[in-house]
Amino acid sequence: MDARQLKIKAAETALGYVEDGMRLGIGTGSTAREFVALLGEKVANGFNVTGVPTSEATARQCLELGIEVRSLDEIARA
């Protein structure tokens, strides 16, 4: 397996812990990018999550894939 395949496998494993309706922190980096791509596929099929991204790049990717994003302040008030 090459490095990208390992990152995808790690992202798939992490995604297995995400449940419908969760709020979750979404990190930054190449593995997080793979995770967000997979999460976006689930959201496109009706899965509901709210992400709190750790960077503008991750927030942008989430929004492009239809993943709802909130800031940490917004989540704390909810």
The domain spanning residue 73 has which CATH number? 3.40.50.1360
pTM: 0.93
Find the helix packing angle between 3-15 and 30-44, rounded to 10°.
50
What's the half-sphere exposure (Cβ side, CA atoms, 13 Å) at 23? 10
The tally of domains found in the chain comes to: 1
Cα 51 off chain centre by: 6
Contacts of residue 69, defined as CB under 8 A and 6 or more positions apart, other chains included, come to 50, 51, 52, 53, 59, 62, 63
Reading the chain (78 residues) residue by residue, the pLDDT tens digits are 899 999 999 999 999 999 999 999 999 999 999 999 999 999 999 999 999 999 999 999 999 999 999 998 898 876
> Tokens 């917004």 correspond to what residue?
74
> Looking at residue 39, what is its pLDDT?
98
pLDDT of residue 58: 98
Across the chain, what does the average pLDDT equal? 96
Q: Which domain holds residue 68?
A: 3-77
